Amino acid sequence: MDVLNSEAEKITLMSEEKSNTLEVEPFRPRSDSRSSERTLFNMSDADADEKRSTDIEKEGVEGKLPTVVTKDHVTTDPLARAKLLMWMAVNTVATVLIVFCNKAIFSDKSFKQCQAAFAAFHFFITAATLYVVSRPSLAMFDPKRIPIMNMLPLAIAMAMNIVGMNLTLQVCTITFYQITRVLLTPTVAVINFFFYKKSIPRLAAYALIPMCFGVGLISYYDTPAAALPGVPEKHVGALAILLAFGSVAISGVYTVWVGTYQRKYEVNGFQLLFNQAPLGGVILLYVVPWTDRFPNLAEAPTNKWLMILFSGFLAAMINLSQFFIIGGAGAVESTVVGHLKTCLIVVFSAFTGGRIITDKAALGIILALISIFLYSAIMMRQPK
């Protein structure tokens, strides 16, 4: 897995915690309105309230222009909704493809011991993408520098998070990997409760119970594809389960820290990732000589190198599409897109590769997916 999927998971969780979707006030022209490049995503609550109360000035066209309501503004572009749906589709397809692409890379014996190097490659792809879109010619967000020593703990946690996800993807089936990732939601809830005294509604807590039960069923009954006909079924091993749950625990800590850093330094997710990604890549470069074993260039399959480049391209597309989704979609839409990606990955992995899906494993998948949808619906209904 890569840094983008991790950030996408974090954004989905933060969207679920924001109980109300933002509402846009009716279109009322005013002569004293002000234009601003800032959006609700990178404003404080006070500034956001002021922006929502400020009307858009359009002389002589009141009530004539078609309006498309997005998360933080009213736009006169009639194609805005179509563009948003397009970027949602790009993000969904790229996220699904990158999981299968990375799984294929890690399944090759030449690259299965290159976890740190592969994560560093994606970190630098992410850093380059963020640098390009932050330039004045594009100005998708305003870069904000945070001292390196202050970012070091978060960058280390980020590196551990991504390497842990990659290791889990290598040793587990895609179905088991993706279903265990939904445990990130209750993990974050538990960390927030015990360390930050933040609680979730009782109904939301109840909704997480079948999720944990479903993941337990998957852990026990999920089976990879048999290598040869007649080979006995092989269940998920203890090492795979340990890596999967350890990775979720690290991801939970990392997700909570991301929220803490955003509040402390008053930055949005992209400004924070702009500081994290290059630092995380450099840290992993120091780890690579001790942990990775590079393939023999003459023996490594050419198609795997092409898949690595394709994985980097998908990472850039996920990064780019996230800007348009965050800027144009509400909390409900962002959450639904996140769950859609989970469902697609689980369904595709369940019916590819000659795997055997037992009835109990299928029940576990259904329980986990229903549970996360119920949890999201309950959290969306809660007042701020």
Q: Could you report the per-residue pLDDT of 266-284, keeping only the tens digit for each? A: 998 889 999 999 999 999 9
pLDDT tens digits for 360-370? 888 888 898 89
Assess whether pLDDT exceeds 80 at residue 86. Answer: yes
Q: Residue by residue, what is the 3-state secondary structure of the chain?
A: CCHHHHHHHHHHHHHHHCCCCCCCCCCCCCCCCCCCCCCHHHCCHHHHHHHHHCCCCCCCCCCCCCCEECCCCEECCCCHHHHHHHHHHHHHHHHHHHHHHHHHHHHCCCCCCCHHHHHHHHHHHHHHHHHHHCCCCCCCCCCCCCCHHHHHHHHHHHHHHHHHHHHHHHHCCHHHHHHHHCCHHHHHHHHHHHHHCCCCCHHHHHHHHHHHHHHHHHHHHCCCCCCCCCCCCCCCCHHHHHHHHHHHHHHHHHHHHHHHHHHHHCCCHHHHHHHHHHHHHHHHHHHHHHHCCCCCCCCCCHHHHHHHHHHHHHHHHHHHHHHHHHHHCCHHHHHHHHHHHHHHHHHHHHCCCCCCCCHHHHHHHHHHHHHHHHHHHHHHHCCC
pLDDT tens digits for 167-189? 888 888 888 888 888 888 889 88
pLDDT tens digits for 212-240? 888 888 877 776 654 444 444 445 577 88
pLDDT band (50, 70, 90) for residue 9: low
Q: Which of 4-8, 30-34, 294-298, 362-366 has the lowest mean pLDDT?
A: 30-34
Assess whether pLDDT exceeds 60 at residue 109. Answer: yes
Mean pLDDT for all residues in the chain? 77
Please tell me which residue, 20 or 122, carries the higher pLDDT value: 122
